[in-house]
A and B are shown apart, each in its own frame.
Chain A
Amino acid sequence: MTTQTVLPVEPDTLQSISVSNGEPAWLTESRVNALRLAAELDLPKLEKTKIDRWDLSNFGTIRTERPALTQQLPEGIASFVDLKEDSNLIVQHNSTAVYTTLSAELAAKGVIFTDLETAVREHEDLVKSYLHTLVKPEENRLTALHAALWNGGVFLYVPKNVEVDIPLQSIFLIDDATASFAPHVLIVAEANSRVTYVDNYISGQYDGKVVHNGAAEVFVKAGAKVQFASVHNLNEQTTDLINRRSVVDNDASIEWIVGEMNAGDAVSETLSVLQGNGSLSDAKVIAVGSGSQKLNYTTKAVHFGKSSDSQMITRAVMREQATAIINGITKIEKGATKANGEQTEKVLMLSPKARGDANPILLIDEDDVKAGHAASVGQVNQEQIYYLMSRGISREQAERLIIYGFLAPVVSDIPLEQLQQQLQGLVERKLGQ
């Protein structure tokens, strides 16, 4: 059933562009091999979403040379950044990083925070040993295309025992439909380090269709703690495909906070591989869909470590004709004794044409574990609306209270206040209020 794959670029062209961008030979080879794989591999198989019918042809034109950092902030991102003396920020504009800054204090501690293309040149061995090891090109056509085409991106490295108190931030902005937009985020938190990373995917106005095919790989070493927050706010013309994955060592933890606020179709996966004993993962996802959006969101935890713990919660509000497939997968491997995995997926539908589907899946190969799930899909409860209205509250306001109430258990748990407010604002906007 393989459809004819039209590659967005010829292997020879990709090769010469990589070389002219000054990329090391191993990376050129990695890109070209991935592109060849893309020609052979199928699209990923998604639960109840026919991605093979989606228009996934608009990967954009590959940038032919590597412009120098301009250190100019593009227009339209001012509201996302609050530049202070000690800011730590990376901005990618279409295919290229345009701005990177890291406070002297963090640099002195050995923290690396730069765009991934720069990191390939300046920290080659470090990048090489991690890149594409969690989201592998050989998985499917999309992961292969991502490995072939990625650009800009982020590399964050936190040395052993270094604790970073302020969030490091990046912004990925696309406002040119002809550009290739495929940032790759790579984070390595060494033993007993601590860091918070927040990114925003945003888009300007354009007419053409765009596919954003991205990936994030996060390595959390023993005893380290990573908070990874990501808000996707791409426009209606943009199809958003992303794999976010982490591998978590002994007594380390990852906390995912995800806001799926796109206006276009989207597929995302947020995965934690709990490799180490006592490793923890906590994933919170909120999503709002409207128009005729088709959405497929997966949270997944794979337990190898003993006494590893995963918590996953997704709350999605669907209005108009939006469709959401929400998957939660808890997989506990043999030997992961005393592991615990809890997941909840809930979808609230605001219109009779909205569709929601929650699929909790527990795959357990070990006896001595705990695992639980809860899932629900439903319309706004009219009895509740009546109750609120009977106190003078208008129907619109009553619905709003119920929607925020539905999202509250996730939103109120977000540990970063600014992010909490940003998400609150986005939810309001997406709900047209």
Chain B
Amino acid sequence: MATHFVVEGLKATIEGKEILKGIDIEIKGGEIHAIMGPNGTGKSTLASALMGHPKYEVTDGKVSLDGEDVLEMAVDERARAGLFLAMQYPSEIAGVTNSDFLRSAINARRGEGNEVSLIKFIRQMEGKMKELEMNPEFAHRYLNEGFSGGEKKRNEILQMLLLDPKIVVLDEIDSGLDIDALRIVANGVNAMRSEERGFLIITHYQRLLNYITPDYVHVMMQGRIVKSGGPELAERLERDGYDWVKEELGIVDETVGQEA
């Protein structure tokens, strides 16, 4: 069955403040959606709410992946169902090596009795690390501990490559990446493009979208998607900024949750 991910009227609060005010997105396998929008407009909140971060309370709406109710699932179940979020700020976990972590994650996704053999795992991991031009030593480092900003992002992409998700949410995967790393990461994403997989890419800059051409571009303000279009929308935003969108829609303060 082709991947089909639907978000309908999603509302979410944090500490009682409503941040998401009704989000609708539909992503089919093979599609790439980009979300852009000024700081503090709810983009990461959307990503976190989709993944099930415990701090965000979903107060209304529906999310389904291939017909299954995502909001009913615990965080780990969502991941095993095929949802993947490359986080804007990945956690550091001392004492857990990257390779132990990756193997646990792969095995969790594959399920009991179907674990990958150690040899095969190492071969896979090393292969993907090579594609991402990561130093092999990163396999033995503690998970994200002391990684530079760009190294953490590459490590997120490594996880994406190894976990073979159905829906990939990338939250500012391009921030902190140097020019070469941006190309490498984009190649990684493009290599994953398939009819079976959909992408939701949160970004501030056109430069990532130069490498990964989106099918749809959405603009988020005030916890809502206020405008959608094709790749040309991202180009216009890059050139002209957000003021024209705000003017067009009569928005003064685009942020959300900042009661004056």
Residues of A within 8 A of B (CB): 381-384, 386-395, 397-398, 401-402, 404-409
Contact = CB atoms under 8 A, between A and B. Distances in A.
Residue among A387, A401, A404, A405 facing the most chain B CB atoms (10 A cut-off): A387
Contact of A406 (B51, B75, B95): B95
**DSSP majority for the A interface?**
helix
A390 B163 contact: no
B71 interface: no
A391 B87 CA distance: 11
Contacts of B95: 402, 404-409
A397 B79 CA distance: 14
Nearest 8 CB-CB pairings of A with B = A405-B95, A408-B95, A392-B79, A391-B105, A387-B91, A392-B108, A405-B96, A389-B75
Contacts of A383: 91
Size class of the B contact interface (CB-based, 8 Å): 20 to 34
Interface in B129-172: 142, 159, 163
A394 B101 contact: no
Contacts of B28: none
Contacts of B93: 384, 387-388, 401-402, 405
Contacts of A401: 93, 96, 100-101, 104
Interface in B71-109: 74-76, 78-80, 84-85, 87, 90-91, 93-96, 100-101, 104-105, 108-109
Nearest to A397: B104
Interface of B: 51-54, 74-76, 78-80, 84-85, 87, 90-91, 93-96, 100-101, 104-105, 108-109, 142, 159, 163
Contacts of A395: 74, 76
15 contacts: A381-B91, A382-B54, A386-B53, A386-B75, A389-B75, A390-B75, A391-B105, A392-B80, A393-B105, A395-B74, A401-B93, A405-B93, A408-B95, A409-B94, A409-B95
Given A386-B53, A386-B54, A391 B79 contact: yes
A398 B76 CA distance: 10
Contacts of B104: 388, 391, 393, 397, 401
Nearest to A408: B95
A405 B142 contact: yes
Given A386-B54, A388-B101, A391-B109, 12 more contacts: A382-B54, A386-B53, A387-B93, A388-B105, A390-B51, A390-B78, A393-B105, A395-B76, A401-B93, A401-B101, A402-B93, A405-B95
